[in-house]
Structure 1
Amino acid sequence: MSIETPPPVEPPDAPTAPPMPAEPPAVAPKKRPSPLLAGLLGLAIGAGAVGGVWAYTARDTTPPKPDTFTLKGTFTLMENATEGEETGCYGTGGYDDIKEGASVTVYDGAGGIAATGSLGHSEYIAGLCMYDIAVKDVPADQKFYQVEVSHRGKVHLTVKQAKAGELTASLG
């Protein structure tokens, strides 16, 4: 007889363990910018913000100028008027400040200077010097005006007279 030995029993296959998960990639620690770079970056952002605010607020927000008109009229020098060949008509003696280009000042109702101009073209007629006056940019928001030629005293006008070109003044 022979004894047969049974074949060796192999243990059942052990369940295989799932593979180990891969290690997450190593995260490098965040690198902080250098203090110089951080300062420059902050400066640039701050300057940009300030510039943006400045540009926004710098828009033309000034109130519009009031309506204006050109005050027109005439001025007559009645004494010591002389005609020059190249200089037009002018005054002599105590009136030598009266000539083309002499100052014309327009004052507002409160006595402040509203506009300035000068005596314009002159003409010599029968012993008189007649000058054109045209003062630009006179504010139209006053009830009355005062006009002075050189330093010779003020002439009063209503706004209606001033806008209508009814300025007539004389000296001498």
Structure 2
Amino acid sequence: MNDDIAEQPAPPPTPPPATWPAPLDVPSPAKRRLSPLAAGLIGLAVGAGVVGGIWAITASSGPSQPATFTLEGSFTLTDDVSDNGDGCSGSYDSGYDDIAEGTSVTVYGASGDVVATGALGDSTYSDYTCEFKVAVPDVPKGEKFYKVEVSHRGTLQLSAEEAENGELAASLG
């Protein structure tokens, strides 16, 4: 055997470490300032957008109609009453024959304007009297007082509190 080891080739030379080229010495651009006119126009546009947005939100979220209540109570006819089995009414040719279920009920505000209308509701005959339920919906709140008229029989005045609490108690006869 031969102790001669074949000569090994030399490793390739190591390349020098990579270096980045030196940054160019470029001056940074000067910051441009807005002219007062441009700044004013931008501020005006932003302000108008904010105001318009707030208006759109509040316009669509508010109540569409004023607050209302249902005026409730009773109306009793005490003279010349007849009971026809389906309810009661004023007797024919008694002078009260305009009083029956469905007869108009008109509610007036403090200024005398009509604020709501309804009709006499279900009736009950008892002891020669006829009692009608009254429920007039959509009466606007905020009046100092209300006047209620059944048919053409004159008005009965209620305070706002009485009207809103359902304290109508009227009679005729």
Matches of 1:63 and 1:166, distance apart in 2: 27
- Partner letter of residue 83 of structure 2? E
Aligned residue for 2:89? Answer: 90
Aligned residue for 1:171? Answer: 172
Matches of 1:78 and 1:131, distance apart in 2: 11
Matches of 1:137 and 1:152, distance apart in 2: 22
1:77 aligns with 2:77: yes
- Partner letter of residue 105 of structure 1? T
- Partner letter of residue 71 of structure 1? L
Aligned residue for 1:127? Answer: 128
Gaps of 5+ in 2: 1-58
Aligned residue for 2:112? Answer: 111
Matches of 1:144 and 1:85, distance apart in 2: 37
Deviation (angstroms), 1:65 = 1.4
Deviation (angstroms), 1:141 = 1.3
Runs of 4+ in 1 over 2 A off after TM superposition: none
Matches of 1:89 and 1:63, distance apart in 2: 41
Percent identity between matched residues is 52
Matches of 1:137 and 1:100, distance apart in 2: 20
- How does the TM-score come out when normalised to structure 1? 0.63
Deviation (angstroms), 1:64 = 2.7
Deviation (angstroms), 1:122 = 0.1
Matches of 1:63 and 1:120, distance apart in 2: 30
Question: Across the two proteins, how many residue pairs are aligned to each other?
Answer: 114
Matches of 1:135 and 1:85, distance apart in 2: 25
Matches of 1:164 and 1:132, distance apart in 2: 15
Matches of 2:171 and 2:156, distance apart in 1: 10
The Cα RMSD (Å) is 1.9
Instruction: Give secondary structure in 2 for the equivalent of 1:96.
Output: coil
Instruction: Give secondary structure in 1 for the equivalent of 2:163.
Output: helix
Aligned residue for 1:64? Answer: 64
Q: Work out which of the two has the higher radius of gyration on C-alpha atoms and give 1 or 2.
A: 1
- Partner letter of residue 80 of structure 2? N
Q: In 2, are the aligned partners of 1:66 and 1:141 still within 8 Å (CA)?
A: no
